[in-house]
Structure 1
Amino acid sequence: MFNKSNGMRGWLNFAMLIAFIAVMLGVGNLAIKQSVDAVIVASAERKATNWSHYLSTAMPDLPVLIKTGEATAEQQAVIEKAVQVADVFRFKLFDASAQMVLISDELGKPLEAGAQTDHNGHARMVLDTGHAKIDVQDGSQKENRPDLYVEAYVPVTSESGDRLGVVEVYLDQTPVANLFRSKFVSLVTALGFVVLFSFGVPFLAYFFKMRQQVRTDAKVRLLSSRDQLTGLPNRSTFFQNVEDARRAGRLDLRKAAIIFIDLDNFKAINDTFGHKAGDAFLRHVGNAISSHLANGDLAARFGGDEFILISANRTMADLKRLIESLRKAVNMPVRADGIALTGHLSLGVHFDTLDDLSLKDRMHKADIALYQAKLTGRNTWVLFTPDLEEKIARRRYVEECIIAGFPQERFEVHYQPLIKHSSSEVVGFEALLRLRDAKGDFIAPTEFIPVAEDAGEINKIGKWVLKEAIRTAATWPEPLFVSVNLSAKQFDDGKLVEDVRTLLESAGLPANRLELEVTENTLIEQEEQVTGQLRAFSKMGVSLAMDDFGTGYSSLGYLWKYAFDKIKVDRSFITSLTDIDGKSLHVLDTIIELGHRLDMTVTVEGIETADQVHALDHLSCDHFQGFYYGVPMPAHDLAPFVAENLAQVKVRGDRPVTGAEKRVSR
């Protein structure tokens, strides 16, 4: 018979059971919630930290973006890609003062005054401590938000570890939370599997989720540490690898060579065959470098067409073999879309086992050696020596003077007279470019003109010299002419003829009073570009002179091919003119005779002494030029010089000119 007491006891037991189950479920729910929150926080911190590192390495000019908040087209492309990595759907960027500068999904929109100021405190805390700040958010009632997401504030650092700012990363953690919460529903419907669902399933879910997370993190780390095109480490990873190797005792910089590698004329491959071909060649170079790495060696792509290699524990003989083998491998053609691509390397090497230099100093010296390799013609390698540093520093100083030449009015045109042999009458002037340094002293043209050519400034300078020379010559009495030297680079763009025509018309100078000088090297280097333009000058009536005649190996062939009007004999013949055997004099006599047979005027350059004048007296040379007759002078000194010369000629009248009278002015 049912006993009320038993009934009460039963209900009590049932209640206790329910209470026990409720407690178990409550404890389990609390444990699961805590576990879920812990997993979410831990997962979010890892993802956000790795993602921040990925952004730092993938984003070009990140410090500028943090400072201005204005993304370039290239940076916007990186942002669009970044919000698709590691469950990130949005991020905000704060500068070093904890002020927000950019919102990823509001690019191009101005930030509202005071917007998101409540977040600035979190950003400031992260900047001060360097530790991430993680907040789990319920987005179920918010527009454009996942049901559960995390706002993670993590520092953004430079390659050297300096904190540039803070990024607030929005991470979608709904899948992780749903995974655990779905298991709790199963616990309610099947009380007998409480333990299983409370411990087993969450554990397995956690285990598999962590495996997936490990793979995701590994992928993010790989993306942020490797150059995606070549597979080599990127710049930041390279420095970390060096530091790790040094701490582990695997790398001793005193026994290692630092090799900077640069692709010669890589831009030409891109411009001619397209970026796809350029990428194929970069992969080819990356594979060549990777295949030459020995145990303990480190390499990286530094960006663009620049690579670096640290070769450890090699002798100089080993190093030379490595470099030549690497150059040979890169020189092998590589095919891309049916096109055979070929290219070469310039390498700068620092290898000094005596100096205890830092990595930065060794890299600087290797960079100097690379610079020298490029200057010496490329497709070569140069080992750093102490004298290189001074030489490169001087060259860079000269380049700075060239850049400052026009703004600071350091360029000048001086004029050296050309004298008629038979009468000592001045017939024209050669325009000579001069450049002053910061102290006002002249830099030798033989030093600054090659630098100007390499720096891409020679066209601008050359056009200015033409303009000044033509304008000045237009003020001279007829028939005085002006002679101007041309660089091979001035023929590159094909505009030289029209530029000269325009300058002549503007100044009102007849074309026959302009003489243009070109050297044999100009014809050799730029024959295709030069040929048509020289013929156009001849047709225009401009006189053409071959400068430095006799120093090359094919000058004779060029004389009739280009219809030169004048030969300017190189000064090297004059310096040896008074030799006892007289060979130079015989050669010079032959050159003059040859020029006259080809109906050319012959000018002898570099005359500096009376003995040289006396030695030339019996030769039928047309014009003389040199310090003996007049030093290069500024334009304002020309009028007195010409007046004095004309007066001397008038006094002599038709008398034969003696050797002493040939000297016009010093």
Structure 2
Amino acid sequence: MPTVGSKLRHLAASESSLARQVRAALVSTLYTSPGSLAIGAIAGSVTAACIAYVSGSLALLICSIAIHLVGVLRIASAIIYLRSEHGDSAREQLYWERIYEVGAWLYASLLGAQAFLTLTQSSETVLLLMATIMATGYSAGVAARNAGRPIIAIGQLCLGTLPMALGLFVMGTPLSITLGLCVIIFVFGMVDIGLQIYEVVYSALSGKQEKSEVAARFEKMARSDMLTGLDNRLAMQMRLSELLDTVEEEHDEKLTVIWMDLDHFKTINDTLGHLAGDKVLIVTAQRVKAVLGNRGWLARFGGDEFVIMARVASTEEAHLLGVEILESISQPVSINENTVEVAASLGIAVSPDHGRQSEIMLKNADIALYHAKNEGGKSVRLFEPFMHEDFLMHRKIESGLNDALANGEFTVLFQPIIDLETGRTKSCEALLRWNHPELGDVSPAVFIPVAESAGLIGEITQWVMRKACEAAAEWPENINVSVNISPALLKRNNLPVTIIETLVNTGMVARRLELEITESVLLDKSPHTNSLLRQLQKMGLRLCLDDFGTGFSSLTYLRSWEFDTIKIDKSFIRNIANSPTDQKIIGAVVQLAKSLDVATVAEGVETEEQLKRVRDAGCSRVQGFYYARPMTAAQAKQRLAHEGLPSDDDRKIANLS
């Protein structure tokens, strides 16, 4: 069983390890009941006044006046504490504790001094009784009331009762000495009781504090992103709602919501691994936070998406902030021995201009982000009302694409590519067409990007390739078929397997299948893409560089890859009759291709004049409405059959459609 000494040692140890919140709670117990302070002060004042008046002692009169003053000051300090907006800092709590401590010990000392003086200077039994009862009752009361701060309670107990015991010893009678000893025993008993109460209070508050800290940790985990330490989606939505409420109250300022999405982040994960992707996310978060400073808040919405919230004065300031953020993160990130290029697309909405509710603001920022990504990425777009209609159309097309294959809404047409030397068809390009049940014919330029972003392009391309190979299997063996391959498809490891399965199932040979790829594929410089293209070439497939001249055309492509065909984009053919510059560019490309033994195809030839110009430039093949419009598989088969007849006039056959 613990002794008073062991309890005092525990008290000393716990004092140095008190948590700030626990200490604040214990100090607040000293001031919780100013009423009890007032009752004690009134009782002490009345008792002191009576003793001083009846005894006629100057010392007791001075003691009585001091008891009045200290009692009033203690009540006043308690009222000030309760009415003031005090914090829970360690320094402030210690300040209020010291004020209470000085007042409590001074008041207890005065009561103890009054008891000592009364016992030694008066023989009035009633006065002796009043002085001793007041000192004893006060000491017993504070031992319980101030048990939350036992040092103060023990000090009050000793200062209030030990002078009384000394006075009893000074009286020198056997009964007074006996009573003095009982008072000392009483002090030890009250100290033990006070420490026991403190143990209970301390344990209860510590347990409550521990539960509060655990709850706070779990709440923080529920509101934080584990990787970056930023607010997560839940916390962001709560903060956004709060910020929008303040914007409605303060009409002279606006709130911008910036939705940011990293460009080609999946490629980083696929090629370098998820740890590399995680580092990119962490570095990106650090860079954005550095730009924001105290101007706004950053949250990770999920994946590679972030949401920025900031107070701004205008939409122009919001746009400038978006540009500043984009510039800060568009810097390479070093990961082990690799340097990763990072870029992002940002969509901006500003309240109250673009909405006053969090759901609307997030939706409009997302719509603006969609337009930024549609522009090729690495751009900032501010929301505009017309974007909403475009976004709804995008969603409608995406929803329709999910069912288009199953509902038989797709059609593959074939456009002949003519060899200018013979005037006969050399190959046919497979062209996908979509007839939407509500929208009618939807342009591939519209639905192909949607299919890519929705992850549907793989299944669609596989279907087109199968249909193209099925049709080409019935053509003469010297006629090839070309199929456009999406850059997104070259990110997948199973593309070679898919192509082999298609060739085997349709009976096509690899050398008759030509894959058309755009320059954007080669810009990626991904080891995975390079390896995949080389695998396809080793299988015997032909490669065609499509839309040459429209992107970042580079001679290094032609040096690094053995293309079978280069397609000159129709934008050069359109003005070839009137543009000497376009004529020179086409002539240069053709001469370069001839030196590399690569065939050239002029796309979009529609007039006699255009045909003459590309023929003069030396193009080996042409494709366009001048010779033939896209046709069905049955029409293409019939056309090629007629071309095989030796008596047919080549020009008439070429114009069949």
Q: Given the two structures, how large is their TM-score scaled by the length of structure 1?
A: 0.58
Q: Offset of 1:349 from its aligned partner?
A: 1.9
Which of 628, 635, 638 is the matching residue for 2:636?
Answer: 638
Contact 1:551–1:570 at 8 Å: present in 2 too? yes
Contact 2:244–2:357 at 8 Å: present in 1 too? no
Corresponding residue for residue 628 of structure 1: 626
Q: Which moved more, 1:424-433 or 1:317-326?
A: 317-326
Against the structure 1 CA distance between its residues 596 and 650, is the aligned structure 2 distance closer, same or farther, given a 3 Å change threshold? farther
Corresponding residue for residue 606 of structure 2: 608
Corresponding residue for residue 7 of structure 2: none
Write the distance in 2 (CA, Å) between the matches of 1:618 and 1:249.
67
Write the distance in 1 (CA, Å) between the matches of 2:273 and 2:529.
28
Write the distance in 2 (CA, Å) between the matches of 1:616 and 1:380.
37
Contact 1:415–1:431 at 8 Å: present in 2 too? yes
Per-residue deviation, residues 410-437 of structure 1 (Å, max 9, x unmatched): 2221111223334533343221122232
Write the distance in 2 (CA, Å) between the matches of 1:460 and 1:532.
22
Which of 211, 214, 220 is the matching residue for 2:215?
Answer: 220
Write the distance in 2 (CA, Å) between the matches of 1:375 and 1:434.
21
Contact 1:347–1:382 at 8 Å: present in 2 too? yes
Query: Comparing both structures, which one devotes a greater share of its residues to strand?
Result: 1
- What is the 5 A alignment of 1:224-235? 224-225=219-220, 226-227=223-224, 229=226, 232-235=230-233
Which of 640, 646, 665 is the matching residue for 2:656?
Answer: 665
Q: Is the partner of 2:470 in helix, strand or coil?
A: helix
Per-residue deviation, residues 541-589 of structure 1 (Å, max 9, x unmatched): 444333333445545444454333333332223212322x655445545
Q: Is the partner of 1:522 in helix, strand or coil?
A: helix
Question: What amino acid maps onto 1:256 in structure 2?
Answer: L
Write the distance in 2 (CA, Å) between the matches of 1:231 and 1:301.
9
Q: Which moved more, 1:544-553 or 1:426-435?
A: 544-553
Corresponding residue for residue 209 of structure 1: 204
Q: Which moved more, 1:615-624 or 1:471-480?
A: 615-624
Contact 1:425–1:646 at 8 Å: present in 2 too? no
Write the distance in 2 (CA, Å) between the matches of 1:623 and 1:507.
27
Corresponding residue for residue 544 of structure 1: 543
Write the distance in 2 (CA, Å) between the matches of 1:539 and 1:283.
40
Asked if 1:383 is matched to 2:382, the reply is yes
Per-residue deviation, residues 130-182 of structure 1 (Å, max 9, x unmatched): xxxxxxxxxxxxxxxxxxxxxxxxxxxxxxxxxxxxxxxxxxxxxxxxxxxxx
Contact 1:471–1:507 at 8 Å: present in 2 too? yes
- What is the 5 A alignment of 1:390-539? 390-439=389-438, 441-526=440-525, 528-529=527-528, 531=530
Question: What amino acid maps onto 2:647 in structure 1?
Answer: K
State the structure with more CA Rg: 2
Corresponding residue for residue 363 of structure 1: 362
Contact 2:318–2:350 at 8 Å: present in 1 too? no
Contact 2:256–2:351 at 8 Å: present in 1 too? yes
Write the distance in 1 (CA, Å) between the matches of 2:299 and 2:471.
56
Write the distance in 1 (CA, Å) between the matches of 2:529 and 2:470.
25
Q: Is the partner of 1:404 in helix, strand or coil?
A: helix
Write the distance in 1 (CA, Å) between the matches of 2:622 and 2:231.
63
Write the distance in 2 (CA, Å) between the matches of 1:419 and 1:202.
101
Q: Offset of 1:240 from its aligned partner?
A: 4.5
Asked if 1:650 is matched to 2:637, the reply is no
Q: Offset of 1:604 from its aligned partner?
A: 2.5
Against the structure 1 CA distance between its residues 328 and 423, is the aligned structure 2 distance closer, same or farther, given a 3 Å change threshold? closer
Contact 1:436–1:443 at 8 Å: present in 2 too? yes
- What is the 5 A alignment of 1:20-169? none
Q: Which moved more, 1:191-200 or 1:424-433?
A: 191-200
Per-residue deviation, residues 244-291 of structure 1 (Å, max 9, x unmatched): 566678964862112234455666777788777776766666666666
Question: What amino acid maps onto 2:462 in structure 1?
Answer: K
Q: Offset of 1:351 from its aligned partner?
A: 1.5
Q: Offset of 1:400 from its aligned partner?
A: 2.4
Q: Which moved more, 1:513-522 or 1:264-273?
A: 264-273
Contact 1:488–1:525 at 8 Å: present in 2 too? no
Against the structure 1 CA distance between its residues 327 and 195, is the aligned structure 2 distance closer, same or farther, given a 3 Å change threshold? farther
Q: Offset of 1:365 from its aligned partner?
A: 0.9
Question: What amino acid maps onto 2:639 in structure 1?
Answer: F
Contact 1:434–1:445 at 8 Å: present in 2 too? yes
Q: Once superposed, what is the RMSD of the aligned Cα atoms?
A: 4.4
Q: Is the partner of 2:224 in helix, strand or coil?
A: coil
Per-residue deviation, residues 292-330 of structure 1 (Å, max 9, x unmatched): 667785554445554433312534565456445555666
Q: Offset of 1:203 from its aligned partner?
A: 8.3
Question: What amino acid maps onto 2:350 in structure 1?
Answer: F
Q: Offset of 1:445 from its aligned partner?
A: 1.8
Q: Is the partner of 2:655 in helix, strand or coil?
A: coil
Contact 1:261–1:306 at 8 Å: present in 2 too? yes
Per-residue deviation, residues 609-663 of structure 1 (Å, max 9, x unmatched): 234345556665443321122211121222333345456x6143xxxx67xx475
Write the distance in 2 (CA, Å) between the matches of 1:246 and 1:597.
65
Contact 1:645–1:664 at 8 Å: present in 2 too? no
Write the distance in 1 (CA, Å) between the matches of 2:397 and 2:582.
36
Question: What amino acid maps onto 2:656 in structure 1?
Answer: S
Per-residue deviation, residues 355-406 of structure 1 (Å, max 9, x unmatched): 6632221121112223334444555433222233233333333322332232
Against the structure 1 CA distance between its residues 532 and 646, is the aligned structure 2 distance closer, same or farther, given a 3 Å change threshold? same
Write the distance in 1 (CA, Å) between the matches of 2:341 and 2:516.
36
Question: What amino acid maps onto 1:577 in structure 2?
Answer: I
Write the distance in 1 (CA, Å) between the matches of 2:348 and 2:618.
55
Contact 1:252–1:312 at 8 Å: present in 2 too? no
Contact 2:474–2:637 at 8 Å: present in 1 too? no
Write the distance in 1 (CA, Å) between the matches of 2:370 and 2:283.
23
Structure 2 residues not aligned, in runs of 5+: 1-184
Write the distance in 2 (CA, Å) between the matches of 1:357 and 1:268.
36
Write the distance in 1 (CA, Å) between the matches of 2:381 and 2:337.
34
Write the distance in 2 (CA, Å) between the matches of 1:355 and 1:583.
46
Question: What amino acid maps onto 2:349 in structure 1?
Answer: H
Write the distance in 2 (CA, Å) between the matches of 1:474 and 1:256.
61
Q: Offset of 1:493 from its aligned partner?
A: 3.5
Q: Is the partner of 2:405 in helix, strand or coil?
A: coil
Contact 1:410–1:436 at 8 Å: present in 2 too? yes
Against the structure 1 CA distance between its residues 470 and 237, is the aligned structure 2 distance closer, same or farther, given a 3 Å change threshold? closer
Q: Offset of 1:228 from its aligned partner?
A: 6.5
Per-residue deviation, residues 196-227 of structure 1 (Å, max 9, x unmatched): 99999668735762464255235414532541
Q: Is the partner of 1:650 in helix, strand or coil?
A: coil
Write the distance in 1 (CA, Å) between the matches of 2:421 and 2:330.
59
Contact 2:355–2:361 at 8 Å: present in 1 too? no
Structure 1 residues not aligned, in runs of 5+: 1-189
Q: Given the two structures, how large is their TM-score scaled by the length of structure 2?
A: 0.59
Asked if 1:599 is matched to 2:623, the reply is no
Query: Comparing both structures, which one devotes a greater share of its residues to helix?
Result: 2
Write the distance in 2 (CA, Å) between the matches of 1:321 and 1:525.
29
- Count of aligned pairs: 469
Against the structure 1 CA distance between its residues 508 and 584, is the aligned structure 2 distance closer, same or farther, given a 3 Å change threshold? same
Per-residue deviation, residues 79-122 of structure 1 (Å, max 9, x unmatched): xxxxxxxxxxxxxxxxxxxxxxxxxxxxxxxxxxxxxxxxxxxx
Against the structure 1 CA distance between its residues 197 and 276, is the aligned structure 2 distance closer, same or farther, given a 3 Å change threshold? farther
Write the distance in 1 (CA, Å) between the matches of 2:299 and 2:539.
56
